[in-house]
């Protein structure tokens, strides 16, 4: 014969059903808190599913290769906007440039090559000899050109070394022998690979860079070459001294 055991106060089982809170426990039977029913099994299964799904999602995000290229990764980059060094959005036909320059560029690579040769023979530097700001010219070159063409113009800038082919060496006779107008046109409308800077630089700043290519850049290239030669010579002397010291120690 069994007798009912009434708990002195209601007990809530955190992992059982709410109905278990005031249940009567019968001697010899399994306590309701230990008798996990279907509701508990459903909650446990849901929890396990969430954990497995979380682990799988974490693995997908951390996995190398194509799994990193989730479809929304490039949403910000691919939005409808003007990208870096792209032409500005279309303007009305009656638009007039504020600096007196041309809004439209050459139509294709062949047109660009022919146009810069033609313009090189007719366009000359409008800046006066005393009006050239050498400091500003060097600064504009550093901001807009050095990353590709390098501090000395050799085409070895931190960005340029990643390109194939590498950017043009601006100290070569091929560049230095070009007329000022041709260099200006290339800076304005770009080259075969190089983008144009007509919307990034004013006309005056473009002419200042042309002048810098003729003077300040060549001086900078000569200084860098001297420093490299001095460093190489110091390295050779240091190696020779180390070798001599090693030979003496061996004796």
Q: Is residue 209 part of a domain?
A: yes
- 124/218 same-domain check: yes
- Count up the domains in the chain and report the number: 2
The DSSP bridge partners found for residue 5 are 25
The answer for 153, left when phi > 0, alpha when psi is -120 to 50, beta otherwise, is left
Q: Is residue 23 part of a domain?
A: yes
Q: Is residue 124 part of a domain?
A: yes
Q: What pTM was estimated for this model as a whole?
A: 0.58
Of residues 39, 42, 45, 46, the one with CA closest to residue 19: 39
Q: Residue 123's domain spans which residues?
A: 109-229
CATH number, domain with residue 168: 1.10.760.10
Q: Is residue 32 part of a domain?
A: yes
Mean pLDDT of 219-232: 91
The DSSP bridge partners found for residue 166 are none
Q: What is the pLDDT of residue 108?
A: 82
Q: Is residue 88 part of a domain?
A: no
Residue 210 has phi, psi (to 5 degrees) of: -60, -45
DSSP 219: H
**Contact present, 190 and 198 (Cβ < 8 Å):** no
- 129/221 same-domain check: yes
10 Å CB burial of residue 133 (0-12, 13-18, 19+) is middle
Q: What is the pLDDT of residue 16?
A: 47
Q: Is residue 144 part of a domain?
A: yes
Q: Which of 10-24, 72-86, 153-167 has the lowest mean pLDDT?
A: 10-24
Q: Which pLDDT tens digit goes with each residue over 50-95? A: 776 777 666 655 555 544 556 667 777 677 776 666 666 666 676 7
- 125/215 same-domain check: yes
Check whether 22 has a pLDDT greater than 80.
Answer: no
Q: Which residues of 224-243 are buried (b: 16+ CB within 10 A; e: fewer)?
A: eeeeeeeeeeeeeeeeeeee
- 58/115 same-domain check: no
Q: Which of 65-69, 196-200, 204-208, 212-216 has the lowest mean pLDDT?
A: 65-69
- 113/29 same-domain check: no
DSSP 89: P
Largest CA distance in the chain: 120
Q: Is residue 127 part of a domain?
A: yes
> In which band, very low, low, confident or very high, does the pLDDT at 226 lie, cut at 50, 70 and 90?
very high
> In which band, very low, low, confident or very high, does the pLDDT at 220 lie, cut at 50, 70 and 90?
very high
Mean pLDDT of 131-159: 91
Mean pLDDT of 213-233: 91
Q: What is the pLDDT of residue 97?
A: 63
In the predicted model, what is the mean pLDDT of the chain?
76
The DSSP bridge partners found for residue 66 are none
Q: Is residue 76 part of a domain?
A: no
- 201/125 same-domain check: yes
């Amino acid at each position: 014969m069994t007798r009912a055991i009434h708990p002195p106060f209601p007990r809530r089982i955190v992992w059982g059903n709410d109905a278990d809170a005031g249940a009567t426990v019968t001697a010899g039977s399994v306590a309701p808190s230990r008798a996990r029913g279907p509701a508990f099994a459903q909650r446990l299964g849901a929890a396990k599913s969430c954990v497995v799904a979380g682990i799988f999602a974490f693995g997908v995000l951390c996995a190398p290769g194509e799994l990193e290229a989730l479809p929304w990764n490039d949403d910000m980059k691919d939005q409808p906007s003007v990208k870096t060094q792209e032409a500005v959005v279309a303007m009305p036909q009656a638009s007039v440039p504020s600096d007196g320059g041309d809004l439209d560029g050459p139509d294709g690579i062949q047109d660009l090559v022919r146009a810069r040769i033609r313009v090189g023979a007719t366009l000359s530097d409008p800046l006066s000899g005393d009006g050239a700001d050498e400091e500003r010219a060097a600064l504009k070159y550093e901001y807009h050109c050095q990353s590709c063409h390098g501090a000395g113009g050799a085409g070895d800038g931190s960005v340029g070394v990643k390109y194939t082919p590498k950017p043009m060496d601006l100290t070569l006779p091929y560049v230095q022998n070009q007329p000022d107008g041709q260099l200006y046109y290339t800076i304005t409308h770009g080259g075969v690979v190089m983008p144009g800077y007509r919307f990034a630089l004013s006309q005056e700043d473009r002419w200042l860079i042309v002048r810098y290519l003729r003077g300040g850049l060549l001086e900078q290239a000569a200084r860098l070459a001297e420093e490299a030669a001095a460093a190489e010579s110091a390295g050779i002397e240091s190696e020779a001294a180390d070798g001599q010291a090693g030979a003496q120690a061996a004796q």
